[in-house]
Amino acid sequence: MKNLLKPIALTIVIILIIVGLPQCNKMKIVTSTTDATNLVSYLEKYPDTYSEFIKVLEKSGTASFMNAYGTYTMFAPTNDAIQGYLQDLGKSSLDDISADDLKTMVRYHVLEDTISTPSFTDGKLPVPTMHGEYLITGINNENGVSRYIVNRRAIILQPNIHTGNGILHSIDHVLIPSSKSLYQRIKENPNYSIFTEALEATGLNTVIQKLTYKNDTTPNWYTVLAQSNAVYAAQKIYSFNDLKAKYTKPNANIQDPKDSLNLYVAYHILTGLKFTADLVVSPAQETLAPQEVITTVLKEEKVLLNYETANGVTDSALINRPVSDIACTNGVLHDVNNNLYIKVRNPTAVYWDVAEQPEIMKLTSIFRKGGKTVTFQVGDLKDVTWNAGTVEYFCNNPGAKDLFYWNDRLALAILKPAVGSANMNWIEFTTPLIIKGRYKVWICWRSNANTNGFGMQTWIDGYLMPRLFSFGDYNYGKTLPETDVQAQGWKRYYVGASTADHMASKLIGTVEITTTGRHKIKFITTEASGQKNSSWLDMIHFIPEGANQFSPKFATDGSIVY
C-alpha cells in the first residue's frame, strides 16, 4: 500500500544505514555456493564449527526435516556460540536441555523462505521464524568494520551460504526467543514507571499482559509506543498524579474507555505488529483510541510520529531506534522522545498499490522481482475477495513498456455477468487506513484492448460511485496536452512519456469517508459486451477533495516525483 510517505521502500532504511552512515566501511555482500546437497550436509562438512548445532538438530528430532527438499533460511550458531549459551544457562552440555526446548531453539533459527542479506531490513525480516516470531536485523559497526547483526545479539560471521534446500548464515550467538510480554517489558523498566502506572490505573495493562487470540490460530498483536519519565519531565509531569491532573477531571472513572486519560493511554497502543520498517509503510496507524490515528513519516533515517508544522513551529515524536523494535511475546515495543497526544486529523492522501498484499509481500523471491509471477485462488488473500476465477501477481522486467508503479500489478480474470457465475465478475478489496473526510477516487490501470466494453461499477462501503470505467479504455488523450486530459477527468499518474496511452487513470467520483479506518471497495462488471481477458490493476488513489489531484506521479522503480 502506498501513500505520500511511500517514496520509501521497506528496504530504504537499511540502505541508508549501510551506505550512508559516516566513518563506516562500505559493506560487502558475500555470497558463496557449496556442493552440499542440503543445510545439514553443509553443517556436517565442518564439525569443528557446527558439531554442537548438529547435536541440537539430532536431539530435537529436527535433522530429518532440515534434510528434506524445501526453501529454508537457517541462522546456524557456531560451537563457541552454543558453549556461551550453555554457560549463560549454567548448563554443562546439551544433554542438560530437554528435546522440546532444543526443538524451540531450532524453530527460532529457521525461516521457511530463502532470505539473503540484500533482503535484510533495518527491522524485522519479511517472514517469521518457524517459532512464529520475527527476527530483527541491523548493522553492527565496530573498529571501522560493518557486519550484520540479528536480534541485536548475534553477529553474522559468514552470510549467504547457498545449499540445495536453502541459505545458511553462520552466527556467533544463539538467538533467544522473547520470553516477556509487552506489559512485563514495560513494568520491569524503571524509566517507564509513570507510563506503567497509567497502564495499570486505566486497566489497559490487561490488554498487553499476555498473548491472546482472535480464534484458535490468529494472535492479537499490539505495538506500544512507550514514553519515559524523562519525556514526561520535559512536559513538567513528574508523577502519575501529574499526568492524571493534566488529562482527566477530578474523581473521573479513568477505566471508562471514554475518559480522556484512558483515551490518552489507549492512543499509545497500536493494533497489529508494527516494527520500524512497518511504521513507515502507511501514513497513519490505528490505535486503541477509537477513530484516532498516529501519523508516520520518514525524514532521512528518522521515523517521526505526528509530524506537523504550524506557524513555523514543527512538532513530532521521534522513534528512539536504538531502544525500539523490542520483540515481545505479544507484540513489539518502541520508545518515543516526545509526548504523544490525540490531535485533530485532516484527510490525508493515500496512494495505494493494490499489489502490496501481505501474502504477496512475504514471497520475497517473487515480490517485486522482475519476471516473477504467482496465481491466487479464491480465499488465498485475506484482504481481497472475489466470486470465482483467479488473481495473478506479476512483476515486469525492468525496461518493459508498461509503466506500473514498482513494475508490478494484479491481473484480474474478469468476465461479464452473462457468461456465468463460474467466472469472476466482481472483486472486493479492503483498503489501507483512510482518515475520515471527503476524497476524490482515481482508478489506475494498464488498458487491454481485448477487454474493451467491460463497464465497471465501483462501490465504496456500499456507495455506488457515479462514473463507470473500463479496463479496455485505450488511447485516452494520446494527442492531448496534460491540461485537456485532466479537464476530462483523467490523469497521467505515471512517470514516462505522455504517449504511453496504455496506462490509464480515471476519476470515478467523490466519496465521504465517515470513519477513520479500513474500508471496502468493490468492482462489479456491467452487462456490456466483451470477452474474457486479464484486466491489469495498478493503483487506487484516495485524494482529499481540495488537494492537488495530479501530483505526485509514480515510477517503475518505486520513486515518486512531485
Q: What is the CATH number of the domain that holds 232?
A: 2.30.180.10
- Residues 329-370: pLDDT tens digits? 999 999 999 999 998 888 989 999 999 998 898 787 899 999
Q: Give the pLDDT of residue 452.
A: 52
Do residues 350 and 516 make contact, with C-beta atoms less than 8 angstroms apart?
A: no
Instruction: Round to whole Å and give the CA distance between 401 and 398.
Output: 9
Parent domain of 514: 350-561
Q: Give the pLDDT of residue 19.
A: 35
Query: Cα-flanking dihedrals φ and ψ of residue 487, to 5°?
Result: -65, -25
Nearest residue to 445 via CA among 458, 430, 462 = 458
Same domain, 165 and 186: no
pTM to 2 decimals? 0.70
Domain end point (choices 171, 203, 218): 171
Q: Give the pLDDT of residue 6.
A: 41
Contacts with 291 (C-beta within 8 Å, 6 or more apart), sequence order: 436, 515, 516, 517
Same domain, 99 and 144: yes
C-alpha cell at 125: 525480516
pLDDT values of the chain reduced to their tens digit, one per residue, 562 residues: 544 434 333 343 433 333 333 344 445 566 665 666 799 999 999 999 999 999 999 999 999 888 877 789 999 999 999 999 999 999 999 999 999 999 999 999 999 989 999 888 667 888 889 998 889 998 888 888 889 999 988 999 999 999 999 999 999 999 999 989 999 999 999 999 999 999 999 999 999 999 998 876 778 999 999 999 999 999 999 999 999 999 999 999 999 999 999 999 999 999 998 998 888 877 789 999 998 989 888 887 889 999 887 677 788 999 999 899 999 999 999 999 999 999 888 898 999 999 999 889 878 789 999 999 999 999 999 999 999 989 999 999 988 889 999 999 999 887 655 555 567 889 999 998 898 999 999 999 998 766 555 688 999 999 999 999 988 887 676 778 889 999 999 999 999 887 787 899 999 999 999 988 889 999 998 864 445 567 899 999 999 999 999 999 999 998 899 8
Same domain, 60 and 39: yes
CATH of the domain at 542: 2.60.120.260
The 10 Å Cβ neighbour count of residue 420 is 10
Domain end point (choices 311, 336, 361): 336
How many domains does the chain divide into? 3
C-alpha cell at 235: 512536559
For 9, 70, 271, 401, 538, the CA distances from 494, given in Å and listed in that order, are 17, 39, 33, 12, 11
Same domain, 152 and 214: no
Domain end point (choices 312, 336, 360): 336
Instruction: Round to whole Å and give the CA distance between 234 and 497.
Output: 53
Please report whether residue 539 resides in a domain. Answer: yes
Q: Report helix, strand or coil for 200.
A: helix
Nearest residue to 300 via CA among 272, 317, 280, 283 = 280
C-alpha cell at 52: 554442537
Beta pairing partners, 163: 166
In this prediction, what percent of the chain has a pLDDT beyond 90? Answer: 61
Same domain, 268 and 407: no
Same domain, 159 and 292: no
Do residues 355 and 393 make contact, with C-beta atoms less than 8 angstroms apart?
A: yes
Same domain, 187 and 329: yes
Please report whether residue 341 resides in a domain. Answer: no
Q: Report helix, strand or coil for 495.
A: coil
Same domain, 477 and 548: yes
Same domain, 209 and 241: yes
Same domain, 209 and 323: yes
Please report whether residue 264 resides in a domain. Answer: yes
Same domain, 377 and 481: yes
Same domain, 251 and 313: yes
Q: Give the pLDDT of residue 464.
A: 97
Do residues 403 and 500 make contact, with C-beta atoms less than 8 angstroms apart?
A: yes
